[in-house]
C-alpha cells in the first residue's frame, strides 16, 4: 500500500476528479493501493502528525510525504496560510519556522521505518528530500489557482516513479 500526505498539490486541487492526482497515478504505476491523506492548505504540523498516525493505521509498504512551505501553521485543526489569513502572520518569525521545518523533516525521517521519500516545498531545500514537488510539474499547465492539472500530475507521478527506480535499482 502507498500512503501519501501533503497539501493541495498532493490532494489534487483544481482537478475535475481527485483520482487523477499524482498519488493515484503513481499507485497505478506501482500496482499498489493508494491512501491519499493530503488536505488543501495543510501545514507541516498536519503532515507530520498524519504521517505518524498513518504508519500505525495503514502499515504502508511505501510512504511519500510532500512537505509544504514552513510559512503555514495549524491551530485547533484549522490551517493558516499567509494568503488566506494574513493577520495571523503579522509577527511571524521565518527563521523559527524554517528551523521548525528542518526539525520536523529530521524527526519524521527517524520515525518512518517503511520505504519512504520526502518531497520538498517550493521555498525550502532539504538534504532529506529527493525532489521538489513543484519542479516535477513546472513545464505543464496550471489551473487558475496555480495547481497542476492532469498532465502536471502525470509528470509528478512519472518523476517520483523514475526517482524511486533510480534509488532502489528496480521499479
pTM of the model as a whole: 0.94
Q: How far apart are CA 127 and CA 7, in angstroms?
A: 20
Closest CA to 104 of 150, 67, 71: 67
Residuewise pLDDT in 10s, the chain (171 residues): 999 999 999 999 999 999 999 999 999 999 999 999 999 999 999 999 999 999 999 999 999 999 999 999 999 988 888 888 999 999 899 999 999 999 999 999 999 999 999 999 999 989 999 999 999 999 999 999 999 999 999 999 999 999 999 999 877
Look up residue 43 and give its three cell numbers: 501545514
| Beta-strand relationship, 78-80 and 73-75 | antiparallel
* Record: fold of 2-168: Rossmann fold (3.40.50)
What residues does each domain of the chain span? 2-168
Amino acid at each position: 500500500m502507498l500512503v501519501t500526505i501533503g497539501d493541495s498539490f498532493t490532494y489534487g486541487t483544481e482537478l475535475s476528479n481527485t483520482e487523477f492526482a499524482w498519488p493515484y497515478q503513481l499507485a497505478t504505476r506501482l500496482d499498489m493501493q493508494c491512501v491519499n491523506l493530503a488536505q488543501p492548505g495543510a501545514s507541516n504540523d498536519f503532515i507530520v502528525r498524519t504521517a505518524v498516525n498513518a504508519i500505525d493505521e495503514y502499515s504502508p509498504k511505501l510512504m511519500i510525504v510532500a512537505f509544504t512551505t514552513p510559512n503555514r501553521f495549524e491551530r485547533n485543526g484549522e490551517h493558516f496560510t499567509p494568503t488566506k489569513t494574513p493577520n495571523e502572520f503579522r509577527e511571524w518569525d521565518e527563521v523559527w519556522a524554517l528551523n521548525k521545518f528542518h526539525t520536523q523533516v529530521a524527526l519524521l525521517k527517524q520515525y518512518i521505518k517503511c520505504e519512504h521519500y520526502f518531497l520538498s516545498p517550493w521555498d525550502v531545500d532539504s538534504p532529506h528530500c529527493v525532489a521538489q514537488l513543484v519542479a516535477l510539474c513546472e513545464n505543464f499547465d496550471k489551473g487558475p489557482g496555480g495547481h497542476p492539472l492532469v498532465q502536471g500530475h502525470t509528470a509528478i507521478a512519472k518523476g517520483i516513479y523514475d526517482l524511486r527506480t533510480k534509488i532502489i535499482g528496480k521499479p
